Amino acid sequence: MCGRTACTLAPDEVSRACSYRHRGGRRRQPRWRDGDADKYRPSYNKNPQSMSPVLLSQRHFDTDAPVDERVLASMRWGLVPSWFKEDDPSKMRYSTSNCRSENILEKKSYKDPLKKGQRCVVLADGFYEWKKQEKGKQPFFIYFPQTQGSSQEKTNHQDEPTTPARKKKNSETAEEASSDFKERGEAAGDWTGWKLLTMAGLFDCWTPPDGGEPLYSYSIITVNASPNLQSIHDRMPAILDGEEEVRRWLDFGQVQSQDALKLLKSKDILTFHPVSTIVNNTRNNSPECLQPVDLNSKKEPKPSASGKMMMSWLSSSSPSKRKEPSTCERKEERESKVQRKSTGAIQQWIQGANKKQRIK
């Protein structure tokens, strides 16, 4: 089951990465729901109960909005049903971080939101899964295969993968384009950075019995693992592959629940690599959580094309909007840096990313 993710893009990057074409054919960038961009905290190691970026139809918040207009919201991972009677979500006696696709229509916690059209897309760089072994469990990072960006960028950087966080000069250009993008409501060009994983989810809105701010929360829908992931785990998130599947899942006005459920299939489209057991501890929040490791050698592994893109992405300069890690996280990163040897490309990548403090 999916119990840990990574989502390291800054709020503005998440918005740009989720650009889409509305029914009129124009490309748009979803805006964050008021105040939600500040609730979202980028992280290399995100666990249930944390706040994550979720994509959904604007009509859930504005009945006059076109059903195909999208909005980004920060929601708590772990669905809290609207009918929950306790005064604290932590008092729930069962886990709702995942929802099995086979049981959606059998459990009230998921059946009610589905009938109301409360479908969402959970966003992440990728997710972690643990493979059982004779001695403990080996974690893996699983994500969409990454591709190069536009033809112009390929010409200028033949040997350098495209990255969502640019060098300073390119970052300034991207920010200017993003600003123009928001003003005109359409994109000057497609997003060429890290391709976010799009997972099918259900959400609900719970209000404390004594009143207070409503809490929006979600559950990730899971299906049987695809052939290439079965050796790691028997389940995987229901992946929405491509803009059309995302559109159909979110369009609760035109696509009825029974038809939407047909999208929840096992898809053999993800790639993965083993990572360090440092990710086992949720307090560890550094690029090392994503570092590829070689299970058969003490030498540094040769990264794949997607792995190279990840390294370049994490080591590049970061936007100013990222939030500072907690004091505990900074202390752990400093201690980890002292212990690591400064050899190999992977180590240089990790050290460079730590110095530049991507997650802020």
At 1, the pLDDT band (50, 70, 90 cuts) reads low
Summarised one tens digit per residue, pLDDT across range 193-238 is: 899 999 999 999 999 998 889 999 999 999 999 999 999 999 999 9
Count CB atoms within 10 A of the CB of residue 91.
Answer: 9
From residue 17, alpha-carbon distances to 14, 92, 167, 180, 311 in Å are 5, 34, 18, 15, 18
Residues facing residue 75 across a β-bridge = 52
Mean of the per-residue pLDDT values of the chain: 78
pLDDT above 80 (res 40):
yes
Give domain limits for the chain.
5-280
User: In sequence order, what are the residues at sequence separation of 6 or more whose Cβ sits closer than 8 angstroms to the Cβ of residue 211?
Assistant: none
Tell me, yes or no, if 300 is annotated catalytic: no
Residue located via tokens 């989810």: 201
**CA separation for the pair 197, 122 (Å, rounded):** 8
Mean pLDDT on 296-320? 56
pLDDT above 70 (res 349):
no
**CA separation for the pair 330, 354 (Å, rounded):** 9
At 297, the pLDDT band (50, 70, 90 cuts) reads low
Q: Which residue has the higher pLDDT, 166 or 286?
A: 286
Q: Which residue has the higher pLDDT, 196 or 318?
A: 196
Of 2, 18, 120, 289, the catalytic one is: 2
Largest alpha-carbon pair distance within the chain?
A: 60
Q: Structure tokens of 211?
A: 């009143």
- The answer to whether 52 and 41 are in contact (CB under 8 A) is no
Residues facing residue 121 across a β-bridge = 55, 200
Q: Pairing state of beta strands 20-21 and 271-274?
A: unpaired
What does the pLDDT read at residue 204? Answer: 97
DSSP secondary structure, 310-350, as one string: HHHHHHS---TTPPPPPHHHHHHHHHHHHHS---HHHHHHH
Tell me, yes or no, if 129 is annotated catalytic: yes
Torsion of CA 135, 307, 169, 11, to 10 degrees: -60
Count CB atoms within 10 A of the CB of residue 173.
Answer: 11
Residues facing residue 217 across a β-bridge = 76, 204
Chain-centroid distance of CA 63 in Å reads 27
Summarised one tens digit per residue, pLDDT across range 48-107 is: 999 999 999 999 999 999 878 999 999 999 999 999 999 888 888 889 999 999 999 999
From residue 171, alpha-carbon distances to 54, 161, 344 in Å are 25, 15, 27
What does the pLDDT read at residue 4? Answer: 94
Of 13, 129, 329, 333, the catalytic one is: 129
Confidence (pTM): 0.76
Residues facing residue 219 across a β-bridge = 202
User: In sequence order, what are the residues at sequence separation of 6 or more whose Cβ sits closer than 8 angstroms to the Cβ of residue 118?
Assistant: 60, 202, 203, 204, 252
Q: Say which CATH class 5-280 falls into.
A: alpha beta
* DSSP alpha helix (H) spans, the chain: 11-17, 36-39, 108-115, 151-156, 168-184, 243-250, 257-261, 305-315, 327-339, 344-356
What does the pLDDT read at residue 252? Answer: 93
- The answer to whether 197 and 144 are in contact (CB under 8 A) is yes
